Structure 1
Amino acid sequence: MDTQAERTSWPAPAARHAHEGVEAAAALAEENRQLRDALQTRGVIEQAKGVLMAQRRCGPQEAFDVLVTLSQDTNVKLRDVAQAFVDEFLATVPAESRGGPAAPA
């Protein structure tokens, strides 16, 4: 016998599964965005580590720890700290010393 309760409850599992599918797709999209961001910022962090390693004559872990500490102390994202560090370093080094084209005289 087909009751009102049976007719109104049957779509619930399908709707729940559809909702779970949407949530899973959103989670995957967010993870994809985070991985893309990480790939884009990895280079500048590595550059900042290299500069620190040369300046402080330290290893990569110590250089990374310096960046992380600065990031935490200033409440600025690590990638932004690294970018500012590299930008400041490049502003103090003549173009010909960086291996790029010399600045016009």
Structure 2
Amino acid sequence: MSELANELQLDDLGVAVGLPRPTADLDQIEDVPYRAVAFRDNDLASALERSATWLREAEAWLGESLDVSAIHLDYDNGTGSPYFEVKLLCNEEDLAGAPVAMRRHRD
């Protein structure tokens, strides 16, 4: 397992350098404990579409289904904040690219 850990290329958040990132300025991959990938927008359909697009891109990069343990929907009616927030709670090892490194190690 230590060989595998040495092969992972992680950024400051501990996610794989090659993992596709959410594209809108307000979207982000959050830090631990839940590894939420958040999509924020005043339009719920837009936030959901971006989350689905990112999920497809991440799964294509990963080469398998991304382990999403929950989807959380929230809203913020504060001034200046996007109203909707869609969060995908993702497996930390998937976001770190462990399945990719394991396949490389196996092959």
Higher relative contact order (CA 8 A, sep 6+): 2
TM-score, normalised to structure 1, is: 0.28
Higher helix share goes to which structure? 1
Q: Which entry has the higher C-alpha Rg, 1 or 2? A: 1
Higher strand share goes to which structure? 2
TM-score, normalised to structure 2, is: 0.28
